[in-house]
């Protein structure tokens, strides 16, 4: 029997959310397309899934480039003899760093917007074009605390993430009645992954056990969103460690 296909845009290191999403969907019986900018990273993720009996393929792409996104969906909707067209799409690409507002350049502001918002628009638009004729499917977006509020040093990130949230809301209202489940996941807290462990090990130590969001736990929520009965769809859900204040 052929497998359904999932497309995860924004896959990086094995110890990252994108990779965790790929693994969870593969366990759920999906053929997974792991899309990211770094060939070595996505290939490692795909090989790891295959080593445990799953089905995955890496596809290098820059999700801020329209032609790359179209190519991703061309592949996702025609994955081959052993897989059906994609009915699960995740936009997980992102970048973050604090920058003093007075020092923020136009180029920096635009770069954050392109990765955190424009790419989501391109993936969302292409997903709508391909899934609406099928009348089914899930499109899930990774948000952040900054999707809801701006903090000092993060105007560029908050502006981009808030924009992505509005893309998700607009899509949900337009395409929900047509059978497409669009949801936005607010990740409110630090993620216990390679990026944080490498760049801020002191924060990891300070937070302690269960003080950061586990990548597999987050991925499980995405899977549950995809499996929700359409009589009770969530459009937005926020996740945080039980220790996190909000």
Give 163-224 as a DSSP string: HHHHHHHHHHHHHGGGT-EEEEEEE-S-EESHHHHHH-HHHHHHH-TT-SEEHHHHHHHHHH
Measured from the Cβ of residue 23, the count of other Cβ atoms closer than 10 Å reads 22
**Quick one: pLDDT at residue 205?**
85
Q: 């969870």: which residue's tokens?
A: 24
Chain centroid offset of residue 94 CA:
8
**Distance from C-alpha of 23 to C-alpha of 39, rounded to nearest angstrom:** 17
Give helix 155-175 / helix 119-131 axis angle, nearest 10°.
Answer: 10
**Quick one: pLDDT at residue 239?**
98
DSSP-assigned states of every residue in 41-106: HHHHHHHHHHHTT-EEEEEE--TTSHHHHHHHHHHHTS--TTEEEEEEEEE---------TTT--H
**Quick one: pLDDT at residue 203?**
84
| Burial call 55-67: b when 16+ CB within 10 Å, e when fewer | bbbbbbbbbbeee
Q: 């052993």: which residue's tokens?
A: 82
**Quick one: pLDDT at residue 80?**
78
For residues 212 and 196, the answer to whether their CB atoms sit within 8 Å is yes
**Quick one: pLDDT at residue 39?**
97
- What are the structure tokens assigned to 45, written together? 């993720």
Residues in the chain predicted with pLDDT less than 50, given as ranges, are none
């Amino acid at each position: 029997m052929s497998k359904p296909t999932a497309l995860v845009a924004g896959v990086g290191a094995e110890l990252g959310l994108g990779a965790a999403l790929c693994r969870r969907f593969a366990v759920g019986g999906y053929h997974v397309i792991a899309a990211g900018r770094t060939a070595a990273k996505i290939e490692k993720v795909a090989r790891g899934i295959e080593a445990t009996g799953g089905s995955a393929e890496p596809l290098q792409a820059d999700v801020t480039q329209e032609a790359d996104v179209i190519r991703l969906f061309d592949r996702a909707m025609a994955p081959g003899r052993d897989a059906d067209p994609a009915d699960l799409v995740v936009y997980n690409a992102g970048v973050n760093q604090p920058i003093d507002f007075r020092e923020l350049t136009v180029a920096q502001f635009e770069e954050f917007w392109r990765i955190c918002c424009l790419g989501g628009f391109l993936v969302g638009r292409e997903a709508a074009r391909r899934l609406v004729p099928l009348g089914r499917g899930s499109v899930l977006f990774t948000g952040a605390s900054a999707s809801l509020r701006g903090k000092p040093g993060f105007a560029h990130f908050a502006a981009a993430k808030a924009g992505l949230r509005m893309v998700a809301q607009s899509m949900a209202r337009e395409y929900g009645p047509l059978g497409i489940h669009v949801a936005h996941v607010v990740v409110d807290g630090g993620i216990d992954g390679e990026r944080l462990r490498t760049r801020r090990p002191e924060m990891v130590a300070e937070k302690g056990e269960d003080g950061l969001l586990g990548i597999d736990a987050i991925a499980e929520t995405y899977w549950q969103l995809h499996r929700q009965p359409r009589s009770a769809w969530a459009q937005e859900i926020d996740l945080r460690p039980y220790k996190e204040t909000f």
